[in-house]
Amino acid sequence: MTYDLLIRNGTIVDGLGGEPYVGDVAVRDGVIKGVGVVNGGTAKREIDATGLLVTPGFVDLHTHYDGQAIWSDRLTPSSAHGVTTVVMGNCGVGFAPCRQEDHDVLVDVMAGVEDIPGVVMTDGLPWTWETFPDYLNALEAGRRDIDVAVYLPHSPLRVYVMGQRGADREPATPQDLAAMRALAKEAIEAGALGFASSRLTIHKTESGSPIPSYDAAREEIEEIARGVVDGGGGLLQFVPDIPAGGYQPVLQMVFDVAEDVGLPVTFTLVVANVGDPTWPDAITMIEKANGAGGDITAQLLPRPIGLIIGLQLSANPFVLYPSYREIMHLPLAERVAEMRKPDVRARILADKPGVGHPILYVAQAWDWIFPLGDNPDYEPDPSGSIGARARARGEPDGGGIRPAARRRRSRHAAGRHEQPGEQLAGHRRQTAAPRRRGARPRRRRRPLRHDLRRQLLDVLLGALGARPGVRAVHGGRGRARTHLGTGPGGRAGRPRTHRRRLQGRPQCHRPRRAAAAQAGHPIRPAGRRTAPGPDRRGLRRNRRLGRGDRRERGAHRRATRQAGPRTAVRSGPRLST
């Protein structure tokens, strides 16, 4: 047999639950034809993967490329780090469905939730769509380096049906609910992965208001979920609030809806920096729901979320202070000069935020903010935080901040997080989303690269199946593993990773903040090279993943009943080796 690609002697982590093993992977027409020892046959291209890990393509479960996927042919940074599929529409924010008069509303929502500059979206989005199927068609017409899958987002749906009433979070009428259900059915039939919503308090618009879906009633969530079922089924993706008294109030409502309508749920397991850990309570809830026949999966964050904040960026500790906003229009150098005047400085430090906003949770977390300076230290000692420096000098809150006019990045807010292995081991129904921005592990007693190697391999081997029951992608059974696992018939999305080249400390380069994976070799979705590679060359591909085309739906429904929930995958038929 003649293959398009033959990868020899790699250490294969196949996602099927077994231990890693050395073997070959043969690909033809974008589909895996053989795994293990491939004897005989020739290949147009053969790769010696000795000493390298050969894995299924990583799926970035939680992204917000909803705009970038329209205006760019590269979905970086995901595509540069072994990811071959991204999932968009998370948190219930996105750009479809949307009427012309509501464009600014959705831009305001995305700018607030994801800190994407509004002008970027205003200039970059062509708005050639109105309905959700129209948006999927716009994605289909584009060219990208990796595959995409999309949830129907709750906030755009609500605004599309209810107009300003939806943006103002008024209760939905029975007529509104019926319209949302019909549109959800339409979206699923067009290829949506499912439906996404959020109850996270810090999810606010750029103007400071809660997002449209924030306090939607249970009846609204349930009717939309029933629309998903009407269209053929899918996932219910949810982001609960960071709990002060536990996850029970919000999560139980979602779990009950999922049980009533018969949908699987995947939700973000958020862990706060302070207080007693609450995630064990969520695990108990998952076990109870799944024990009663539910299908609930938690997505965990192996690294903390952090922000780079500064006077020249969209967030800084004083951005909501009226006294600071009086001078924020000034060029950076002039603004810093004003802030160094004793009277202006005293007035700002004595001021209070004019508008409540979640950015203050991190922008004023003085013990977690570290100056980056001209030579950033991504493993700072706690004694170097703004709060620790101020206390050492006997200065009150805010007194330790010294704006620097010439620094491109003035400070770094970091959080902490339990080791991912602890949470992965804590329950078999969790997934890992290892990509987080601007983050660093807390307390270090040895070089970060050693912990990162161990952590990445732990998440990789655990999530891809070496740790029984842990699933790297929700619904990773049946057809999902045909697509995502390194098995015959699966789509050929293969990053190859060198263990010894896994690094923890980034090399900063002023002109760009983008950095490719140092341990990666060329990524090959469907057997074709994209990135990264030493020469950075690669194909731009065009594939929007949905629930399968019409020819596959009957088989998919049968497989779903036998093997688990539907997932956003499409693949060739399962073939024997």
- List CB contacts of 401: < 8 A, sequence separation 6 or more: 317, 386
- Assigned domain for 319 exists: yes
Least confident of 114-128, 174-188, 288-302, 359-373: 359-373
- Assigned domain for 90 exists: yes
- List CB contacts of 438: < 8 A, sequence separation 6 or more: 305, 306, 307, 308, 412, 413
C-beta contacts of 550-557 below 8 A and 24+ residues apart: 553/232, 556/479, 557/232
User: In residues, how long is the chain?
Assistant: 577
Tokens of 288: 């109870």
Tokens of 555: 């088989």
Buried/exposed code over 316-328 (b: 16+ C-beta within 10 A; e: otherwise): bbbbbbebbeebe
The CA-based dihedral angle spanning residues 144, 150, 156, 162, taken in that order and rounded to the nearest 10 degrees? 140
Confidence of residue 438 (pLDDT cuts 50, 70, 90): very low
Same domain, 352 and 371: yes
pLDDT given for residue 478 in this prediction: 31
Domain limit, last residue, from 153, 187, 221 = 187
Domain that holds residue 328: 307-413
Same domain, 37 and 139: no
Confidence of residue 525 (pLDDT cuts 50, 70, 90): low
- Assigned domain for 288 exists: no
Residue spans of alpha helices (H) in 262-385: 279-291, 322-325, 332-339, 342-350, 359-363
Look up the CATH number of the domain holding residue 118: 3.20.20.140
Distance CA 444, CA 439 (A): 14
**Helix (H), strand (E) at residue 268:** strand 265-268
- List CB contacts of 484: < 8 A, sequence separation 6 or more: 15, 56, 57, 59, 472, 473, 476, 490, 493, 569
Same domain, 119 and 168: yes
**Rounded to 5°, angle at Cα 464 from 462 and 470:** 60
Same domain, 50 and 78: no
Across the range 531-560, mean pLDDT stands at 42
Tokens of 89: 């529409």
- Tell whether the model's pLDDT for residue 466 goes beyond 50: no
pLDDT given for residue 208 in this prediction: 79
- Assigned domain for 300 exists: no
Helices (H) and strands (E) in the chain, counts: 19, 17
- Tell whether the model's pLDDT for residue 435 goes beyond 50: no
Residue-wise pLDDT for 375-428, tens only, equals: 878 778 889 888 898 888 887 655 545 443 333 333 344 333 344 444 344 444
Residue-wise pLDDT for 204-228, tens only, equals: 898 878 999 999 999 999 999 999 9
Domain limit, last residue, from 187, 219, 249 = 187
Same domain, 312 and 398: yes
pLDDT given for residue 320 in this prediction: 80
Residue-wise pLDDT for 220-277, tens only, equals: 999 999 999 999 999 999 999 876 667 888 899 999 999 999 999 999 987 766 556 7
- Assigned domain for 245 exists: no
- List CB contacts of 257: < 8 A, sequence separation 6 or more: 218, 221, 222, 225, 236, 263
pLDDT given for residue 509 in this prediction: 42
Which residue in the block uniquely carries the two structure tokens 């007035």?
347
- List CB contacts of 295: < 8 A, sequence separation 6 or more: 258, 264, 265, 564, 565
The CA-based dihedral angle spanning residues 565, 158, 269, 491, taken in that order and rounded to the nearest 10 degrees? 40
Distance CA 66, CA 201 (A): 22
C-beta contacts of 311-315 below 8 A and 24+ residues apart: 311/335, 311/336, 311/403, 311/410, 312/408, 312/410, 314/115, 314/117, 315/115, 315/359, 315/363
Question: Is residue 121 within 8 Å of residue 107, measured between CB atoms?
Answer: yes
pLDDT given for residue 447 in this prediction: 39
Distance CA 164, CA 39 (A): 64
User: How many domains, in total, are found in the chain?
Assistant: 3
- Assigned domain for 472 exists: no
Tokens of 45: 């291209």
- Assigned domain for 193 exists: no
- Cα 12 to Cα 53, 488, 492, 506: the distances in Å are 6, 13, 13, 27
Distance CA 221, CA 172 (A): 11
Same domain, 101 and 134: yes
By C-alpha distance, which of 481, 420, 478 is closest to 13? 481
- Assigned domain for 180 exists: yes
Buried/exposed code over 268-278 (b: 16+ C-beta within 10 A; e: otherwise): bbbbbbeeeeb
Same domain, 506 and 494: yes
Same domain, 45 and 155: no
C-beta contacts of 426-429 below 8 A and 24+ residues apart: 426/279, 426/280, 426/283, 427/283, 427/286, 427/287, 427/298, 428/468, 428/469, 428/470, 429/286, 429/290, 429/296, 429/297, 429/298, 429/469, 429/471
- Tell whether the model's pLDDT for residue 137 goes beyond 80: yes
Same domain, 73 and 156: yes
Same domain, 108 and 167: yes
Same domain, 133 and 23: no
Domain limit, last residue, from 360, 383, 413 = 413
Tokens of 439: 């983050």
pLDDT given for residue 408 in this prediction: 36
Same domain, 144 and 109: yes
Tokens of 346: 């005293």
